[in-house]
Amino acid sequence: MNADIKTREYTTVSEVSGPLMVVEGVEGVAYNEIVEIEAPTGEHRRGQVLEVKDDVAVVQVFEGTTDLNTLNTKVRFTGETAKIGVSRDMMGRIFDGTGTPIDGGPEIIPDKELDINGNPMNPASREFPAEFIQTGISTIDGMNTLVRGQKLPIFSGSGLPHNDLAAQIARQAKVVGSDDEFAVIFAAMGITHEEANFFMRDFERTGALEKVTVFMNLADDPAIERILTPKMALTTAEYMAFELGMHVLVILTDLSNYCEALREISAARDEVPGRRGYPGYMYTDLAGIYERAGRIAGKEGSITQMPILVMPQDDITHPIPDLTGYITEGQIVLSRDIHRKGIYPPVDVLPSLSRLMSGGIGDDKTRDDHSGVSDQLYSAYAEGRNLRDLVAVVGEDALTERDQSFLAFAQAFEDEFITQAKDEDRSIVETLDLGWKLLTILPKTELKRVKDEFIEKYYPE
């Protein structure tokens, strides 16, 4: 084998363009194989085979192609697809986007080497997620409930406080009636130092740091490296969840940067572009990340994903949020209008959704009236918001008494239900009771979404 490895080092680079490099005269190169590159300066980099045809390999270089030349750049094919060494000791450590420790601590002694692409989870092995996670945030717990094993992204816009919200969720998330704490895996893709520091400080302040594993690819790190970061993080998560039996919360931020990197590689390869220049396989690629959340029947742990993505121009129909929304199990949408009113967290409940909510709420999980209260709050707030447009035209006096009550409800809903402090941790009972309190603003006969028995049981006198 040794001789084999020797002959697999080449200096036959024929082309360098953007993030790609073409190597000729190669033999036995496998698709997706990892390559090690020695730049003329002596610096070491890594790359991955994107295409092989006869004796020509196209390689994407993770750390950028600056300084590479076609004369004496050395390329060694490792014969292995991208792997990460995982171990329990990764908790509390900080890695770069390719899985190398950057916190000055010792190297990780791997317990196992795992392929970062993973294999698709067998749908027949999955267990349907149905355990309520209390985040302490009313708009999420009450109306867009998160459950263990769900993938629920935050759709935000630039300048909105999505980081505060994500940090608050990471801090407060718990399963009611259980002592299990979440192990947090935080994967940063192309975020700024400042944003990264915000999270690190928050983890430190709350003493969570020893339960957090951080993968950090910052804005000034090579963009192509970002392709690996979420896969590194999720492979580690799978190991912790399904082999060590932990409940893992994975925060991925910012997926928009990841998609930009995908587009960059696709453009460099002259591929036929899909919408807005993003590659046609972006859906499949994103699914390869998001679908790694879940639960496995008969296994203790779980992977809950909370990806954050900044929608370009707040446009929810942009390909990145659009494709994400088709894969994830709902979305929490932050709104600039609500933010401008000074409301935190600026969650717009109307386009927000949790698809797994119905399985995680109810009698033995939260409270029997949960589903009815949530539906009622939704439809009443939607109606109130509609009426605001009408008021702008005809004035409030032209409204019927019924309509005026809906208008008042919408206002109170924003002021009391949506609004909460950054360290306010509301229990689900508090959230539901608050919902009932607000519903008293409406005529009792309008509470069509709640069953009579619950009106009798919970309607505040």
- Within residues 31-90, the interface with another protein by CB under 8 A covers 31-33, 50-55, 81
Asked if residue 29 binds another protein (CB under 8 A), the reply is yes
Would you mind telling me the total number of residues written for the chain in this entry? 461
Minimum distance from CB of 72 to another protein (Å)? 26
- Among residue numbers 137 through 156, which ones bind another protein (CB under 8 A)? 149-150
Minimum distance from CB of 218 to another protein (Å)? 28
How many residues of this chain interact with another protein, rule: CB under 8 A? Answer: 82
| Dist CA 72 CA 41 (whole Å) | 10
Cβ atoms < 10 Å from Cβ of 26:
19
Q: Does residue 276 sit in helix, strand or coil?
A: helix
Of the candidate spans 13-21, 172-180, 278-286, 433-441, the one that interacts with another protein by CB under 8 A turns out to be 278-286
Decide whether 211 or 336 has the Cβ nearer to another protein: 336
Instruction: Read off the tokens for 90.
Output: 């990764």
Q: Is 111 exposed, middle or buried, given 0-12, 13-18 or 19+ CB atoms closer than 10 A? A: middle
Binder of another protein out of 283, 343, 412, 424 (CB under 8 A)? 283
Token pair 């406080």 is found at: 161
CB burial readout 181-208, b (16+ within 10 A) else e: ebbbbbbbbbbeeebbeebbebbeeeeb
Decide whether 99 or 384 has the Cβ nearer to another protein: 384
Of the candidate spans 16-24, 35-43, 159-167, 383-391, the one that interacts with another protein by CB under 8 A turns out to be 383-391
Decide whether 71 or 393 has the Cβ nearer to another protein: 393
| Dist CA 313 CA 321 (whole Å) | 11
Show the binding pattern over residues 150-189: x = contacts another protein (CB under 8 A), - = does not.
x---------------------------------------
Q: Is the omega angle on the peptide bond into residue 254 within 30 degrees of 0, that is, cis? A: yes
What phi-psi label fits residue 378: left (phi over 0), alpha (psi between -120 and 50 degrees) or beta? Answer: alpha
Decide whether 32 or 87 has the Cβ nearer to another protein: 32
- Among residue numbers 405 through 424, which ones bind another protein (CB under 8 A)? none
Decide whether 176 or 316 has the Cβ nearer to another protein: 316
Asked if residue 291 binds another protein (CB under 8 A), the reply is yes
- Among residue numbers 234 through 253, which ones bind another protein (CB under 8 A)? 242
Asked if residue 331 binds another protein (CB under 8 A), the reply is yes
Token pair 């000055």 is found at: 104
Minimum distance from CB of 119 to another protein (Å)? 4
Of the candidate spans 162-170, 246-254, 255-263, 317-325, the one that interacts with another protein by CB under 8 A turns out to be 317-325
DSSP string, 394-438: H-GGGS-HHHHHHHHHHHHIIIIII---TT----HHHHHHHHHHH
- Among residue numbers 213 through 232, which ones bind another protein (CB under 8 A)? none
Asked if residue 371 binds another protein (CB under 8 A), the reply is yes
Of the candidate spans 38-46, 157-165, 336-344, 372-380, the one that interacts with another protein by CB under 8 A turns out to be 372-380
| Dist CA 75 CA 35 (whole Å) | 7
DSSP string, 128-179: ----EEB-S-HHHHTTS-EETT-B--EEE-TTS-HHHHHHHHHHH-B-TT--
Decide whether 185 or 387 has the Cβ nearer to another protein: 387
For the CA atoms of 234, 352, 314, 253, the dihedral, rounded to the nearest 10 degrees, stands at -20
Which amino acid is residue 131, in one-letter code? Answer: E
- Among residue numbers 343 through 362, which ones bind another protein (CB under 8 A)? 350-351, 353, 355-356, 358-359
